[in-house]
Chains A and B, each alone.
Chain A
Amino acid sequence: MITVNDIYKSFGKVKAVRGVSFDAPDGKITGLLGPNGAGKSTTLRVLYTVLKPDSGSANIDGADVATDSLAAREKIGALPHGAGLYPHLTARENIAYFARLCGLDRSEVDDRVNQIVKLLEIGEFAERRTKGFSQGQRTKVSLARALVHDPQNIILDEPTNGLDVMATRSLRELILKLKDDGRCVLFSSHVMQEVAALCDDICIIAHGRVAIDDSIEGIRERTGCDDIEDAFVQAIHMVEPE
């Protein structure tokens, strides 16, 4: 369970996030939707604790991301936007490195890596060095790395970027599997259709603020648009640029 409470974050004069609040409960997929530069990545970066909010707070299963960031990180698996791999290590070694950093025992590491390799269907290229991997293979390995310590909360920043149809579909299946497992999945996207197809709750943000935080039906109702794309555009216009 991720709780975000009125966070603000500026970079110099740029006010990237201006009071974002939402909840991402366990057993549900929450979508963070917004146009480019709306503040999605900044919000997620605050949640996986690489940025500190200027004000406001957020917590992961009760652990505050600013004051208790180590505990918060223990409870999340994060796939940052454009996550890169170590090109000289094999896919398996990349995953195992993160597993060890997460504090798994030597014996546990192998078992856990094998599980995750199977789950994400990485086996075919697990022993290859990641240099020259396709975007789809890269994303899978990055995701495996993020999930290797079996986190309750999963944060994915634009995970489907650059993926082909097949890869997107298998990622979608995985996200649904995680949801059925009772995990909290929070992922961002700028593609309305993708979010609509997958999410239980959608939080649309624009200009660093929350426009609407509701289910798909709720969003359709409140914007008065049947077409989801129209609804998205309508929602964005509900926020004043600063």
Chain B
Amino acid sequence: MGTLLTVFLKEVLDNFRDRRTLGSALLMGPIFGPVLFAFVINLSIERSLESAETTLKLPVIGQEYAPNLVSFLRSRNIDAIDGPADTAAAMEAVKVGTHDVVLVIPEAFGEQLGEMIPARIALISDQANSDADRDARRARNALLAYQQVLAGTRVIARGINPRALQPLNIDQVDVSTPSGRSAMLLGMMSYFFVFAALMGGMYLAIDTTAGERERGSLEPLLSLPVTRDQLIYGKIAATCLFMTLSLMLSLSAFYVALKFMPLEQLGMTPNFGPSVVLAALAIFLPFILVGAALMTLVASFTKSYREAQTWLSVVLIAPTMPILIVSILTLRPRTEFMFIPSLSQHLLLVDMVKNEPINGLHVAISVASTLVIGIILTWACARLYRREGLLG
């Protein structure tokens, strides 16, 4: 125990002295997530607010053929402006991005309307461009509304109630709560927590084997009258400490960042108060051991520091894969998922952010299975540390 503590304290001191590495590990990991997050969310909020409120400047070719339509569009906050010379020019302009969407009204428009032939009208847009597509949809919706109005006047002229044209009245009931809606977006958070935790311990995990070897300090260390188990347990303990620090920073950074995000405007109120932050920390703690042991294990196979860094960047991605898959398939938490480290933590976190009741059994399985896997991996590290091949 004394040896373990000595190794632990030395690694902590050593790592705190290494300002540059510590800085990148403890700042990059935890701060990167919230900053990126805040940026993306603010951007998307701005966009969505912008599109509803602002006037859409819609280039229209042939405005003179449909003055009523143009004034109807203006009532829908869409201003017709002068467009390109002809349809070909309009298509080219949309293709190169000069305009997002162009409305073309042919000369025959009025005539066709009068003869009750479906009047031809063209909306040119690039559907691959999601930003432009939003404007196109807005223009299309306005045209559909205009169609309703015209159809209504036509049937009234024939003495029919225009309601006959609307056989269905669709009521869309959304049961999602503001917390629930935020979970879709904030589910991304667990990715950053996992990432920050792993980043915080990556340097030490590499240092335990590849780093010590490359520096030439491994052999002197192994020639001391201590068992190798104690050395590696002390080092893994130090790795865990820095991972925990990094995770705590990441959680706090998100806590602060969320306060500055105008999420209410998107109809979201994430349940991410101090108590949830602490609960999230508790739930992620067992994962720290898995991460530390996994990184140490992978690094111990490598021949050099550089090789270890390459491999560990793969390890950084590995725990996020189950999260990604479950998010894409939008699977709901199931008991068997709770056996998988990182995934179980993610699902529990999502439930907490959604402000849904937490299943005690799920928590128990998550903690127990993650801890067991962590202990097995730690044991495997110790086994590998006894190999002669360790010296490289």
Interface residues of A (CB under 8 A from B): 45, 48-52, 70-71, 73-74, 76, 78-80, 82-89, 93, 97-98, 100-103, 129, 142, 145-146, 149
Query: Which residues of B sit under 8 angstroms from A82, Cβ to Cβ?
Result: 216
Q: Known contacts A50-B388, A52-B388; is A98 also within 8 Å of B17 by CB?
A: no
A51-B217 in contact (CB<8A): no
Q: How far is the CA of A149 from the CA of B224 in the complex (A)?
A: 10
* With known contacts A98-B220, A103-B2, A70–B225 Cβ distance under 8 A: yes
Q: Are A101 and B6 in contact (CB under 8 A)?
A: yes
Q: Tell yes or no: B227 within 8 A of A by CB.
A: yes
B81 close to chain A: CB less than 8 A: no
What does the 1/0 interface line of B304-315 toward A look like (CB < 8 Å)? 000000000000
- Are B14 and A89 in contact, with the CB atoms below 8 A? yes
Known: A83-B216, A146-B220. A88 touches B17 (CB 8 A): yes
Q: Shortest distance in angstroms between A143's beta carbon and chain B's nearest beta carbon?
A: 10
Count, chain B residues at interface, CB 8 A: 23
A97 touches B6 (CB 8 A): yes
Give B194-225 as 1s and 0s: 1 = Cβ < 8 Å from A's Cβ atoms: 00000000000000000000011101111111
User: Is residue B7 within 8 Å, beta carbon to beta carbon, of the partner chain?
Assistant: yes
Contact present for B388 and A101 (CB under 8 Å): no
Please give me the 7 A-B residue pairs with the lowest Cβ-Cβ distance, nearest first: A84-B216, A88-B17, A80-B219, A74-B225, A78-B223, A84-B215, A73-B225
**Given A73-B226, A129-B17, 18 additional A-B pairs, CB 8 A:** A48-B219, A48-B223, A49-B222, A50-B222, A50-B391, A51-B391, A70-B225, A70-B226, A70-B227, A71-B225, A83-B220, A85-B217, A87-B215, A88-B18, A97-B10, A98-B224, A101-B3, A102-B225
Instruction: Assess the A76–B223 pair: CB atoms within 8 A.
Output: yes
Q: How far is the CA of A146 from the CA of B7 in the complex (A)?
A: 17
B13 contacts chain A at the CB level, 8 A cutoff: yes
A79: B residues at CB distance < 8 A: 220
- Docked CA distance A80–B213 (Å): 12
Partner of B225, one of A50, A52, A103: A103
A-B contact pairs, 14 of them (CB 8 A): A50-B222, A50-B223, A70-B226, A73-B223, A73-B224, A76-B223, A79-B220, A86-B10, A89-B14, A97-B6, A101-B225, A102-B225, A102-B226, A142-B220
Q: Which residues of chain B are within 8 angstroms of A50 by Cβ–Cβ distance? A: 219, 222-223, 388, 391
> B367-392, CB under 8 A of A: which get 1 and which 0?
00000000000000000000010010
Measured between C-beta atoms, what is the minimum distance from B295 to chain A in Å? Answer: 20
Assess the A145–B220 pair: CB atoms within 8 A. Answer: yes
B271 → chain A closest CB, angstroms: 42
Nearest CB of chain A from residue B2's CB, rounded to whole Å:
7
List which B1-30 residues lie within 8 A (CB) of chain A. Answer: 2-3, 6-7, 10, 13-14, 17-18
A49 surroundings in chain B (CB, below 8 A): 222-223
* CB pair A83 B14 closer than 8 Å: no
Q: Which of B2, B10, B225 is the most central at the interface, judged by chain A CB atoms within 10 Å of its CB?
A: B225
Chain A residue numbers with a CB within 8 Å of B2 are 100, 103
Complex Cα gap A101–B388 (Å): 21
Could you tell me if B225 and A84 are in contact, using CB atoms closer than 8 angstroms? no
